[in-house]
Chains A and B, each alone.
Chain A
Amino acid sequence: MTPGNALRRHAIAKVFHLLCATVTWASVAVLGVLLFHVSYSGWMWLDGQFLSSFPSRFPEKAGIQSALWGTLWLITLTVSFSVPIGVAAAVYLEEYGGKGKLSRLIEVNIANLAGVPSIVYGILGLVVFVRFFGFGRSVLAGSLTMSLLILPVIIVASRESVRAVPDSIRQAAFALGATRWQVIRSHVLPSALPGILTGVILAMSRAIGETAPLIMIGALTYVAFVPNGPMDVFTALPIQIFNWASRPQQEFHQLAAAGIIVLLTVLLLMNAIAVLIRYRTEEGNK
């Protein structure tokens, strides 16, 4: 290696380093730009009137109350369906399943379902829940569809949490003459709970932002009332945002930005709670 060559090689290495660093910080910059742009466009429209009004043809009068309540209904029902089923599936796979062919089949299915585009879930929901079961374009149909969508997320997170419970605890419990379910209920699930909770919150964050499946099952884009029951039609935050953003007028775009601010704030709160839970359990374990 000649001195000239070495210099060149080191120069290349430095440039490469700089390139990678620049590119990485670019991502951070992009996030900053995005958040700034949204805030700048929307903050003027963000007030009490915005939160308490219903959508309207007139931008000054429009608000997201129906969308907020729709999202709330949606999330509550989705949690009710997906969490018990998801945790149950995870418990089965980790505690009862073993390594047989059936368990492998289930695992492969879960991995594939995680990669299916959300709009396909929407079609599934349309045909199965809206039509076949006759639930119509209701919050119920929407939440069932959403539950299927986020089920893989919950199952994977729950499995990890269950797996993390030390086996010595199980052995001790079995040695006292406990049945498997007693061991799971008294020891495995309580220990795995923080991890499961974190996973659920992250899954919910995903569900709150999903639009395509809701459009497919027929969530309306102009709903001027709050849902009163699971069979009511509804709208949701992302749908309202989409609706406003699709309109040509500048004011509606700004309304969309305001809606985005609300949506992102909700997501931020949820993730903060998840981080808090993770932090508290890690502190407790020390």
Chain B
Amino acid sequence: MTNGSPENTAGLPLNKTRFQWKEETIRGALFLCAILSVATTLSIMAVLATEAFTFFENVSLSEFLLGKKWTPLLVPRSFGVLPLICGTLLIVAGAALIALPVGLATAIYLGEYAPGRIRSIVKPVLEVLAGIPTVVYGYFALTFITPLLRSVFPSTQIFNAASASIVVSIMVLPMVASLCDDSLRAVPLPLRQGAYALGATSFEVTTRVVVPASLSGVIASFVLALSRAIGETMAVALAAGATPRMTLNPLESIQTMTAYIVQVSLGDTPAGSVEYQTIFAVAALLFVITLMMNVIAHHVLRRFREVYE
């Protein structure tokens, strides 16, 4: 180690530091950690692709995607995934019906109307709602919401889509509210003030100036919320049922793609069999759908931010 003082380093050449290899090694290690994310994505794709491939050797793609009966575990076997998709969509549509308007309205209230004190209460509440584990929501749906629904609509089955929809909407509500809040606040103040100066009411400013200006951000947040709802597993597994069926009646029992995967995993279907491989086909479908939605939503969100920042 040098103890350089002006006397004895004068004229000495400046040499490469002895730490060079250590620095390179550290940089390499950090890089490997960063590249793990790419490796994870590739692994997911590889796993789903190879496992789903073995499934599609036995079942044709058209039967899978277009068939209307899903009974892989019963004889006679059918592998049409539409009932699961239908179940998922029913849940998601129901959740969206509640969470999207409520989330947007909450964001509007927090951004345009609520004083700081209220914001500081509501925002943490939303964060808590977002942090509650999904099993808890499943339990809540099963033991509170379903009995409530049954007292109002006696024809409601014990496992039903509506109950699960309601809790899923509570789960994605904070996400919608938070993202919409960000988008609404990105709209510059002068735009709002200009509208107020023309004598517009707060309702008019919000609905005709602010929301339209932040529309792509709002829509992106909706898409992300829907994607999250599609991927939701435990609440629907507990509350929505295990009956794949094509129905639009939310009071009936259905099964979502995610809940089906859980059902098979908990059962004793032998690994490697076609019935077991169905979970990979369904998971692949799930992955593709959510990935597409997320990519689109992020793209829209990025473009939106570019406009306003």
A in complex with B: yes
CB nearest neighbor in B for A103: B34
| Interface: A88 (CB within 8 A) | yes
Chain A residues near B261 (CB-CB < 8 A): 119, 123, 216
Best-buried of B33, B114, B291 by chain A (most CB within 10 Å): B33
A119 x B283 contact (CB < 8 A): yes
Chain B residues near A242 (CB-CB < 8 A): 135, 138, 234, 237-238
Question: Given A27, A88, A106, A264, which contacts B125 in the complex, CB threshold below 8 Å?
Answer: A27
> Could you mark each residue 134-174 of chain B with 1 if its beta carbon is under 8 Å from any beta carbon of chain A, else 0?
11101110111000000000000000000000000010010
Question: Given B135, B201, B232, which contacts A241 in the complex, CB threshold below 8 Å?
Answer: B135
Interface range on chain A (Cβ under 8 Å from partner) = 35 or more
Best-buried of A30, A37, A155 by chain B (most CB within 10 Å): A30
A215 x B43 contact (CB < 8 A): no
B17 x A113 contact (CB < 8 A): no
Distance between Cα atoms of A238 and B199 in the complex (Å): 54
| B:253-287 near A, CB below 8 Å | 258, 261-262, 265-266, 279-280, 283, 286-287
Distance between Cα atoms of A151 and B41 in the complex (Å): 12
Distance between Cα atoms of A113 and B35 in the complex (Å): 13
Chain B residues near A115 (CB-CB < 8 A): 224, 227-228, 231, 290-291, 294
| Dominant secondary structure of chain A at its interface with chain B | helix
A23 x B234 contact (CB < 8 A): no
Distance between Cα atoms of A34 and B145 in the complex (Å): 10
A87 to chain B, nearest CB (A): 8
A117 x B37 contact (CB < 8 A): no
Binds A, one of B19-27, B57-65, B67-75, B187-195: B19-27
B102 to chain A, nearest CB (A): 5
Interface range on chain B (Cβ under 8 Å from partner) = 35 or more
CB nearest neighbor in A for B200: A9
A30-B110 contact given A151-B36, A215-B265, A242-B138, CB 8 Å threshold: no
CB nearest neighbor in A for B291: A112
Best-buried of A33, A88, A206 by chain B (most CB within 10 Å): A88
A109-B238 contact given A20-B113, A92-B30, A117-B258, CB 8 Å threshold: no
Sort A-B residue pairs by CB-CB distance and give the 10 closest, nearest first: A209-B133, A117-B231, A20-B109, A88-B33, A13-B201, A92-B30, A115-B294, A13-B203, A212-B233, A89-B34
Contact surface of A with B, Cβ cutoff 8 Å: 1, 9-10, 12-13, 16-17, 19-21, 23-28, 30-31, 33-34, 37-38, 41, 84-86, 88-89, 91-93, 96-97, 105-106, 109-113, 115-124, 127-128, 148, 151-152, 155, 179-181, 205-206, 208-212, 215-216, 218, 221, 238, 241-242, 245-246, 253, 256-257, 260, 263-264, 267, 271
Q: List 9 A-B contacts (CB under 8 A).
A: A16-B202, A24-B109, A25-B122, A106-B34, A116-B290, A117-B286, A119-B286, A180-B27, A209-B136
Contact surface of B with A, Cβ cutoff 8 Å: 17, 19, 22-23, 26-27, 29-31, 33-38, 40-41, 43-44, 47-48, 51, 102, 105-106, 108-110, 112-114, 121-122, 125-126, 128-129, 131-136, 138-140, 142-144, 170, 173, 177, 199, 201-204, 206-207, 224, 227-228, 230-234, 237-238, 258, 261-262, 265-266, 279-280, 283, 286-287, 290-291, 294-295, 298
